[in-house]
Chain A
């Protein structure tokens, strides 16, 4: 069974631009969650989607948004990029029970904002 895939793996943008990251979950998984990882803040939770609906949300500004499609694939969008948005963005998928299911992470997208 293929694992979680994320595209692109690396991305360079400039301040003020916007970016869209993509995540394909493991087949059969309906929950997709997104995380930001930086050396200073560590891992932080962005949001979680299930059946095309955002179920849970972390404490990030509205510039960070996401969506999930009917095939469970998910995208994350960051608008008006800031230097501090440079980070590794990880997505994870699970069968559906956010509270108890094992989450499987993708390799991440490394975003650099210049």
Chain B
């Protein structure tokens, strides 16, 4: 079983709508949790980095939250745009800061 599970696996929403992507993890403790956006055919782009003691971090229309008790993180996208269509990946830095565990990713498609 993957230590970092993301849901849903894929999602289609209409432009302008909000959406929330989930990341459930079993690895503990961890140094930080990151969300990346990856456009097709391109390298990932960092959206947010949160330490285990932070609850929320925003980057424009992207807001990440972290609940250490339930071992869940969410990425909320507000007022979606066509350019938000991409894969979103949750990543945990564990093992004292020298091990990266990647989530399975959520493929988001924003349509007109």
Residues of A within 8 A of B (CB): 4, 42-45, 55-56, 58, 90, 92, 98-100, 102-108
Q: How far is the CA of A103 from the CA of B102 in the complex (A)?
A: 14
Most B C-beta atoms less than 10 A away, residue of A44, A103, A106: A103
Q: Is the CB of A4 within 8 A of B32?
A: no
**Chain B: minimal CB distance from A54 (Å):** 11
Q: Is the CB of A99 within 8 A of B32?
A: yes
Chain A residues, Cβ within 8 Å of B41: 107
Q: Is the CB of B102 within 8 A of A44?
A: yes
Whether A42 touches B105, Cβ cut-off 8 Å, given contacts A4-B43, A90-B44, A108-B43, is yes
- In this assembly, does B23 line the interface, its C-beta being within 8 Å of a C-beta of chain A? no
**Chain A: minimal CB distance from B85 (Å):** 18
Chain B residues, Cβ within 8 Å of A108: 42-43
Q: Is the CB of B104 within 8 A of A105?
A: no
- In this assembly, does B97 line the interface, its C-beta being within 8 Å of a C-beta of chain A? yes
Q: What would 28 A/B residue contacts be, using CB atoms closer than 8 Å?
A: A42-B89, A42-B102, A42-B104, A42-B105, A43-B91, A43-B102, A44-B102, A45-B99, A45-B102, A56-B99, A58-B99, A90-B43, A90-B44, A92-B43, A98-B98, A99-B31, A99-B93, A99-B97, A100-B32, A100-B49, A100-B51, A102-B46, A102-B49, A103-B46, A104-B46, A105-B43, A105-B44, A107-B42
Q: How far is the CA of A55 from the CA of B31 in the complex (A)?
A: 16
